[in-house]
């Protein structure tokens, strides 16, 4: 802060970029100051990723200018982006996890001695870089053995090794636990104080509020607005992103819970064999499962759905004890699971919307001798497309060409066509835009009203606070607390999620 | 049908070019032979395509044909087994081999390539050892059975071709192809195979018993390979245990790949496989009739297949680009 430089560190002026059939960016502007954290937000398809690719040298703009320190520059390759001090950290990490930390930091730029890799220098330089990101591991550690949060810090260290002044982070916390995210925030703030500027892309408005000095919002490839530090609040951001006033983001009505739909007694999961789980959900009730990543939430859903066998314990659906050894049994009992990773576990990406919607019902709807029931599949698909408002040109469109939100709706459609009694949702809104999120919340609300029991795992505090009638909080494989609507607060959840059981009202 | 257009064109081009270059090509005798070979390859191609659709592979088909091909005459002629016993024994043997492959792949999570590569070695060794490595044959008996492989149905005098007889294997192949196509496209089991071939996890999460379906695919593949082995044996009547059926797995796999099956799994068309299987004997025939050195045979077949696959890939990429652009337009328009 000793001298205020005349020019901003990075300026994007009037940049336009089109792809065949679509304008991704239309005359957008963006300014990044020195030692500043700028949050870039917008719905999926708003053009954030395209701009990031342009800044990182992966793509070139059709028109417009990039300026660094007030001077126009041309960034036409990843190398030239590095040369100008711009580095991009992808949402999916780009590390060779079979190599050690040092090798990853210097991958492609290995210092050499007598024509061989200079391991000593790599080790020494890596130590300095790791210290700068506050990561206390040996450069010789194989990356695979590090938790995901630490792997990300390795990636940041790599960016620093090319003397990056502008660090672009694309959804950096999407796969981090709350604790790891905290560490990352500290590192980001620390880097800022040392003169590195950060462009921070995120769907999580809570962390944007915490970190950002300024917010730039994109909508449909254009600038939608900028917010200064004192203007940053949740409603303003959502409003700019979706272009309309969102007074009521979470539509919650009081529910009248019915009978117990799912009851779990002394359930022991293979992931956490030391703990017994006990809980119940009534029909018409939305129960949130909060906790840090690795608390055993996903594993619990997977055992309920039969993906992993239970070690012991009983599961009752609608008051009757059921044996669930595979998803087949679970579906039979009236359960459905929208899994955490929709691309890997939820969808066959290279198949049509229709085929995906029909996939779980093939057996139930089959005709004599196992022939496909095409009519039923068609009816279900048409119904789901209109009911869930799936945006697709037609039912034969391959799912991979749909946006994240619409893909998630296809997964939901697959299950809703079976009319399950209990719906298990694992991070139902991960990586989807605000508009689709809201639609999914509304749908959950609607289904609960119709008497479905919903159990959802979420790492987004706002979602837990906004949606659940009851909240289960897990920590290291056990349920550390059950919070009613009245007891529910961010504070209470965090206490329980970090294992601080004494504070909890169980 | 559209996706088989490329392979169909390739077939027609080679066919017509050969017909123009050498009038002997379209004579009845040559065409009958060609159709018989193509049908036999088509049968084993259909079998392996079911496995390839699950993103697996079966390298043991050639050795299985060797084993079944030697065991059938060995049981019938050397041991005097009844026709029923003999056929039942080789069918059971084939099914067991498929089951063995399937269980190793699903239960022990071994790679299909490794399992069936070992199968290739094991079944060949068994065939040679059981028969003392001596040539097997049907010794002029079992004519009614041999009718399946060498029988012909007279169709009369066809214009430009002459007295033409339709080989019986062609009918068997067409019958199998129809059943397989219905199985793949019209039943839930076919859908299961296609879905799990693309994404095994998503299929399992959708309540599909993926392990059982994979086992089924290997059993069907081996059964069909066994059926092919019987026909090849009946056709040749002189079965050398040490090389009968050698390389046939590669013909079957080439037919499946030419016919549009991706080795990554999840796609395939039975009609395409049938045409793909016909291209291999057609190329051989052409090389002979066009007076090209037969020593170049493999090289030419390899080059033609490679060229076909390259063209196919290029066309597919262009189509994918168009589709993506269209999707983008529609998305931005709505």
Phi, psi of A21 (to 5 degrees): 90, -5
Q: Is pLDDT at B305 greater than 90 in this prediction?
A: no
Residue A403's pLDDT band, with cuts at 50, 70 and 90, is confident
Length reported for chain A: 506
What percent of chain A is predicted at pLDDT more than 90?
Answer: 57
Q: Is residue B271 a contact partner of residue B177, using CB atoms and an 8 Å limit? A: yes
Q: In a 10 Å sphere around its CB, with 0-12 CB exposed, 13-18 middle and 19+ buried, how is residue A234 labelled?
A: middle
Last residue of a domain, one of A127, A162, A197: A162
In three-state secondary structure terms, B63 is: helix
pLDDT, chain B, mean: 92
**Which parts of A388-489 fold into alpha helices (H)?**
404-416, 434-449, 461-467
Sign of the Cα torsion B233, B238, B241, B243 reads: negative
Cβ contacts from A onto B, under 8 A? 96
Q: Is pLDDT at A504 greater than 50 in this prediction?
A: no
Q: Is residue A209 a contact partner of residue A233, using CB atoms and an 8 Å limit? A: yes
Measured between CB atoms, does A401 come within 8 Å of chain B? Answer: yes
The mean pLDDT value for A118-126 works out to: 92
Judge: B188–A370 Cβ closer than 8 Å, yes or no. Answer: yes
**What 8-state DSSP symbol labels residue B115?**
H
Judge: A360–B207 Cβ closer than 8 Å, yes or no. Answer: yes
The verdict on A322 and A438 lying in the same domain is yes
- Asked which of A127-141, A304-318, B2-16 is least confident by mean pLDDT, the reply is B2-16
Judge: B205–A362 Cβ closer than 8 Å, yes or no. Answer: no
Top pLDDT among A247 and A178 is at A178
What is the rounded CA–CA span in Å between residue A220 and residue A28? 11
Phi, psi of A71 (to 5 degrees): -105, 135
Termini Cα distance of chain A: 50
What is the rounded CA–CA span in Å between residue A12 and residue A58? 16
Assigned domain for A185 exists = no
Judge: B195–A359 Cβ closer than 8 Å, yes or no. Answer: yes
A43 vs B contacts (CB less than 8 Å): none
Measured between CB atoms, does B334 come within 8 Å of chain A? Answer: yes
The mean pLDDT value for A108-112 works out to: 86
Residue of A nearest to B182 (CA): A371
Residue B1's pLDDT band, with cuts at 50, 70 and 90, is low
pLDDT, chain A, mean: 89
Measured between CB atoms, does A79 come within 8 Å of chain B? Answer: no
Top pLDDT among A503 and B69 is at B69
Length reported for chain B: 334
In three-state secondary structure terms, B293 is: coil
Judge: B187–A372 Cβ closer than 8 Å, yes or no. Answer: yes
- Asked which of A245-259, A371-385, B201-215 is least confident by mean pLDDT, the reply is A245-259
Q: Is pLDDT at A454 greater than 80 in this prediction?
A: yes
Q: Calculate the alpha carbon distances from A446 to A440, A455, B73, B182, B191 in Å.
A: 10, 14, 69, 41, 32
Assigned domain for A218 exists = no
Residue A5's pLDDT band, with cuts at 50, 70 and 90, is low
The verdict on A485 and A336 lying in the same domain is yes
Last residue of a domain, one of A144, A162, A180: A162
pLDDT of residue A501: 66
Q: What ipTM goes with this model?
A: 0.88
pLDDT of residue A289: 96
**Residues in a beta bridge with B141:** none
Assigned domain for A275 exists = yes
Q: In chain A, how many domains are there?
A: 2
The verdict on A154 and A265 lying in the same domain is no
Query: Which of B205, B264, B321 to mutate against chain A (most A CBs within 10 Å)?
Result: B205
The verdict on A158 and A274 lying in the same domain is no
Residues in CB range of A498: below 8 A, 6 or more apart: A179, A292, A475
The verdict on A278 and A413 lying in the same domain is yes
Nearest to B195 among A337, A351, A391 (CB): A351
Judge: B203–A398 Cβ closer than 8 Å, yes or no. Answer: no
Phi, psi of B154 (to 5 degrees): -65, 130
Judge: B188–A363 Cβ closer than 8 Å, yes or no. Answer: yes
Residue of A nearest to B204 (CA): A327
How far A86 CA sits from the closest chain B CA (Å)? 29
Strands (E), A256-330: 260-269, 272-282, 286-291, 312-317, 320-322
Domains and CATH numbers, chain B: 2-292 (1.10.3470)
Assigned domain for A268 exists = yes
| Structural domain boundaries, residue A124 | 90-162
A343-372 per-position pLDDT tens digit: 999 999 999 999 999 999 999 999 999 999
pLDDT of residue A162: 85
Assigned domain for A42 exists = no
pLDDT of residue A503: 44
pLDDT of residue B230: 97
CATH code of A351's domain: 3.40.50.300
Judge: A401–B327 Cβ closer than 8 Å, yes or no. Answer: yes
pLDDT of residue A66: 93
Count CB-CB contacts under 10 A for residue A110: 15
CA angle A14, A20, A22 (to 5 degrees): 55
Query: Which of A348, A371, A410 to mutate against chain B (most B CBs within 10 Å)?
Result: A348
Q: Is residue A218 a contact partner of residue A50, using CB atoms and an 8 Å limit? A: no
Q: Is pLDDT at B143 greater than 70 in this prediction?
A: yes
Measured between CB atoms, does A19 come within 8 Å of chain B? Answer: yes
pLDDT of residue A2: 42
Q: Is pLDDT at B201 greater than 60 in this prediction?
A: yes
Judge: B328–A20 Cβ closer than 8 Å, yes or no. Answer: yes
Residues in CB range of A413: below 8 A, 6 or more apart: A357, A380, A381, A384, A385, A387, A388, A390
The verdict on A429 and A280 lying in the same domain is yes
Count CB-CB contacts under 10 A for residue A163: 11
CA B102 from centre of chain: 19
CA angle A297, A333, A340 (to 5 degrees): 30
Nearest to A393 among B198, B321, B327 (CB): B327
How far B328 CA sits from the closest chain A CA (Å)? 6
Top pLDDT among A58 and A460 is at A58
Judge: B202–A414 Cβ closer than 8 Å, yes or no. Answer: no
Phi, psi of B113 (to 5 degrees): -60, -45
Measured between CB atoms, does A330 come within 8 Å of chain B? Answer: yes
Residues in CB range of A376: below 8 A, 6 or more apart: A358, A361, A365
B209 vs A contacts (CB less than 8 Å): 326, 328
B228-278 per-position pLDDT tens digit: 999 999 999 899 999 999 999 999 999 999 888 888 888 889 999 999 999
What is the rounded CA–CA span in Å between residue A207 and residue A209? 5
A370 vs B contacts (CB less than 8 Å): 187-189
The mean pLDDT value for B137-145 works out to: 88
Measured between CB atoms, does B2 come within 8 Å of chain A? Answer: no
Q: Is residue A389 a contact partner of residue A442, using CB atoms and an 8 Å limit? A: no
Bridge-based pairing state of the strands A312-317 and A260-269:
antiparallel
The mean pLDDT value for B161-183 works out to: 95
CA angle B191, B194, B197 (to 5 degrees): 145
Nearest to B209 among A328, A344, A347 (CB): A328
A288-323 per-position pLDDT tens digit: 999 877 789 999 999 999 999 999 999 999 999 999
**Residues in a beta bridge with A267:** A277
Bridge-based pairing state of the strands A422-426 and A453-457:
parallel
Last residue of a domain, one of A117, A138, A162: A162
Bridge-based pairing state of the strands A63-68 and A10-19:
antiparallel
B47-89 per-position pLDDT tens digit: 999 999 999 999 999 999 999 999 999 999 999 999 999 999 9
Measured between CB atoms, does A362 come within 8 Å of chain B? Answer: yes
B323 vs A contacts (CB less than 8 Å): 398, 401
Residue of A nearest to B199 (CA): A348
Q: Calculate the alpha carbon distances from B90 to A79, A381, A437, B68, B128 in Å.
A: 63, 46, 59, 6, 16
């Amino acid at each position: 802060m000793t001298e205020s430089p005349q020019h901003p560190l990075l300026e994007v002026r009037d940049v336009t970029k089109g792809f065949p059939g679509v304008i991704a960016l239309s005359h957008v502007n963006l300014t990044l100051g020195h030692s500043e954290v700028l949050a870039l937000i917008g719905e999926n398809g708003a053009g954030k990723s395209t701009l990031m690719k342009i800044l990182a040298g992966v793509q070139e703009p059709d028109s417009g200018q990039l300026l660094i320190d007030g001077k126009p520059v041309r960034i036409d390759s990843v190398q030239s982006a590095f040369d100008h001090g711009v580095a991009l950290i992808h949402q999916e990490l780009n590390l060779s996890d079979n190599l050690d930390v040092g090798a990853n930091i210097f991958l492609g730029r290995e210092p050499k001695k007598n024509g061989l890799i200079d391991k000593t220098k790599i080790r020494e330089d890596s130590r300095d870089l790791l210290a700068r990101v506050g990561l206390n591991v040996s450069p010789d550690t194989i990356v695979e053995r590090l938790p995901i949060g630490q792997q990300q810090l390795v990636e940041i260290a790599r960016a620093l090794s090319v003397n990056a002044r502008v660090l672009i982070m694309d959804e950096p916390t999407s796969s981090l636990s709350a604790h790891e995210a905290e560490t990352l925030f500290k590192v980001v703030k620390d880097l800022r104080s040392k003169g590195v500027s950060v462009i921070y892309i995120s769907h999580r408005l809570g962390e944007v509020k915490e970190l950002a000095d300024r917010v730039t919002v994109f909508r449909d490839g254009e600038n939608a607005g900028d917010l200064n530090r004192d203007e940053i609040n949740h409603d303003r951001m959502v409003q700019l992103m979706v272009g309309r006033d969102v007074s009521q983001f979470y539509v919650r009505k009081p529910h009248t819970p019915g009978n117990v739909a799912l009851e779990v007694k002394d359930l022991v999961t293979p992931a956490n064999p030391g703990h017994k789980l006990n809980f119940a959900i009534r029909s018409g009730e939305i129960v949130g499962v909060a906790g840090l990543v690795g608390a055993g939430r996903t594993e619990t859903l997977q055992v309920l759905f039969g993906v992993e066998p239970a070690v012991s314990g009983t599961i009752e659906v609608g008051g009757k004890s059921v044996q669930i050894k595979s998803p087949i049994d679970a579906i039979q009992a009236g359960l459905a699971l929208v899994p955490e990773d929709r691309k890997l576990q939820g969808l066959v990406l290279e198949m049509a919307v229709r085929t995906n919607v029909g996939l779980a019902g093939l057996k139930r709807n089959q005709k004599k001798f196992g022939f496909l029931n095409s009519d039923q599949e068609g009816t279900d698909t048409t119904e789901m497309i209109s009911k869930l408002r799936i945006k697709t040109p037609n039912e034969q469109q391959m799912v991979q060409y749909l946006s994240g939100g619409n893909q998630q709706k296809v997964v939901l459609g697959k299950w809703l066509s079976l009319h399950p009694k209990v719906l298990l949702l694992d991070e139902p809104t991960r990586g989807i835009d605000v508009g689709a999120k809201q639609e999914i919340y509304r749908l959950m609300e609607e289904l609960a009203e119709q008497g479905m029991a919903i159990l959802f795992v979420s790492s987004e505090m706002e979602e837990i606070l906004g949606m659940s009638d009851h909240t289960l909080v897990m920590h290291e494989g056990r349920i550390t607390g059950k919070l009613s609507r009245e007891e529910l607060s961010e504070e209470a959840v965090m206490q329980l999620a970090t294992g601080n059981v004494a504070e909890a009202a169980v | 049908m559209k996706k088989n257009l490329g392979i169909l064109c390739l077939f027609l081009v080679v066919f017509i070019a050969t017909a123009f270059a050498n009038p002997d090509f379209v004579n009845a005798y040559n065409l009958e032979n060609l159709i018989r070979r193509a049908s036999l390859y088509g049968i084993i191609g259909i079998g392996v395509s079911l496995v390839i659709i699950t993103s697996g592979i079966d390298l043991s088909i050639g050795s299985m044909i060797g084993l079944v091909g030697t065991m059938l005459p060995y049981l019938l002629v050397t041991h005097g087994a009844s026709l029923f016993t003999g056929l039942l024994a080789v069918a059971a043997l084939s099914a067991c081999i498929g089951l063995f492959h399937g269980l190793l792949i699903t239960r022990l999570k071994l790679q299909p390539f490794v399992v069936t590569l070992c199968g290739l070695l094991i079944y060949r060794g068994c065939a040679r050892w059981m028969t003392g490595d001596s040539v097997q044959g049907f010794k002029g008996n079992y004519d009614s059975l041999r009718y399946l492989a060498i029988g012909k149905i007279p169709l009369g005098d066809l214009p430009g071709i002459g007295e033409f007889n339709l080989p019986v294997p062609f009918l068997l192949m067409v019958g199998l192809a129809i059943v397989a196509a219905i199985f793949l496209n019209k039943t839930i089991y076919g859908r299961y195979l296609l879905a799990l071939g693309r994404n095994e996890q998503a299929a399992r999460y959708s309540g599909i018993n993926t392990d059982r379906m994979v086992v089924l695919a290997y059993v069907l593949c081996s059964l069909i390979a066994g059926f092919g082995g019987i026909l090849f044996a009946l056709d040749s009547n002189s079965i050398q245990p040490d090389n009968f059926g050698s390389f046939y797995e590669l013909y079957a796999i080439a037919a499946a790949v030419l016919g549009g099956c991706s080795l990554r799994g999840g796609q395939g068309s039975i009609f395409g496989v049938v045409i793909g299987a016909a291209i291999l004997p057609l190329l051989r025939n052409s090389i002979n009739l066009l007076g090209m050195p037969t020593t170049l045979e493999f090289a030419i077949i390899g080059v033609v297949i490679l060229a076909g696959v390259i063209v196919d890939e290029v066309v597919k990429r262009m189509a994918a680009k168009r589709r993506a652009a269209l999707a983008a337009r529609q998305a931005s328009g709505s």
